[in-house]
Every structure is written in C-alpha cells, then in structure tokens.
Amino acid sequence: MVLEGRKVNRLSKTFLLAFLMISAALSLSITVSRVSASSATISICDSGGNIKTQATAIFGLTDPVYARGDNYLPGEHVILRVIPNTLPYMVVNSVHNVAATADSSGHLAPVNLGSFGVGKYDVWVDRSYALGDGWWHYGDPVAGFGTCYNGFFVVPEYLFGTIAGLAGCFGAFGIFLVSKRRRKVD
C-alpha cells in the first residue's frame, strides 16, 4: 500500500486502525448536552398559572412576577434568569435567578420570579447551565426575545401621584368657587 509516496508497513496500519477505533469509542461515550431544538416553552403568568399576553404582562413595583413552562424533560432541572430586555442572554446580565424542576409530565409549575424595578424584562430558561459557558443556547426557551418583544413590563405605581393630583384638582376647584363667590359679593 502506498500513502503519499511512502510504503506503510503492517505495524503502522495496526496503529492507525487502533487509533480510529479508540477515537470512535471515545466520541460515542462522551455525554452530549441535552440542549437541542425542542418545543419547550416559558410563559409569564399569574400565581394561578393563567398565562399573560404581551399586552397584559404588566406589573407594578411590588407585584410578584410568575412564569410557567411546558414540554420539558420529566424531572429536568433548569434556571430561570431574568434579563433586562435590551441585553444579551448571558449569565452576567441576569438580574435574578430562580431554579426550577419540571414535574413527571414535563411541566414547570408557576414559579415566583420576584418583583423588579421599573423596566422591560425577558425570562430566559437556561437549560444548558451545566455547560458553564454562561450563554444562551439553541433550545433554551425565552419569554420575550430581544428588542422586538418583552417578557414583561414593570411600571411605577402612581398611587401617591394620583392622590396628589386629585387633591390639587379639588383644591383648585375650591379656590375657584371661593373667588367666584367673592366676585359676586363685591
């Protein structure tokens, strides 16, 4: 047998064949991450599991935010990461993390993510956290995606502002009435 102009002796063939067999055996025995294209989902919801749409996923500063999921592997451990909407899905950008485990049917029950400051947020389900690279991977579900959609909004609560505004309106109306009565008396 001739390989690049040189004769390959029988010992070289044996070593080459042994190397190929060992390489094939090792490549088959290495555990591959479970991250793959899947139909796993994550949705923003209320504490009862009722899914909120893009238009209704609006929370106040003190309101707890919940998320639930479907189509996970039974018993799968995941980390739900809350990321500000405009930042890349990376562990370093996460403002809050919550661990969760899918039940025997592959469902994530409503998980309390906490309450957040004013802003737009996405929820990234990190299914590949064991890889340790800290990046989003294909197959990691996201509620909201990039700058086009948001997982949820947190808006300020205007209770004090509303009360102060109404008090100002009634005060101005009172001053108007008093000044009108004085004009009638004069």
Give per-residue pLDDT as tens, 73-99: 999 998 898 998 888 888 888 899 999
Per-residue pLDDT, 35: 39
With 90 as the cut, is the pLDDT of residue 131 above it? no
With 50 as the cut, is the pLDDT of residue 34 above it? no
With 70 as the cut, is the pLDDT of residue 169 above it? yes
- What are the respective helix, strand and coil percentages of the chain, to the nearest 5? 30, 30, 40
Name the residue with higher pLDDT: 42 or 174.
Answer: 42
Beta strands at 2-3 and 6-7: parallel, antiparallel or unpaired: antiparallel
- The pTM (predicted TM-score) of the whole model is 0.61
> What's the CA gap between 1 and 163, in Å, rounded?
93
pLDDT category at 4 given cuts 50, 70, 90 is: low
pLDDT category at 40 given cuts 50, 70, 90 is: confident
Q: Where are the domains of the chain?
A: 1-30, 41-159
With 50 as the cut, is the pLDDT of residue 10 above it? yes
Mean pLDDT within 139-164:
67
The domain covering 41-159 belongs, at the CATH homologous superfamily level, to Macroglobulin (MG2) domain (2.60.40.1930)
Supply the DSSP symbol for 32: P
Per-residue pLDDT, 58: 84
CB proximity list for 106: less than 8 A, separation 6 or greater = 70, 71, 72, 73, 74, 76
Contact 136, 94 (CB under 8 A): no
Most confident of 21-30, 52-61, 132-141: 52-61
Whole-number percent of the chain with pLDDT over 70 = 66
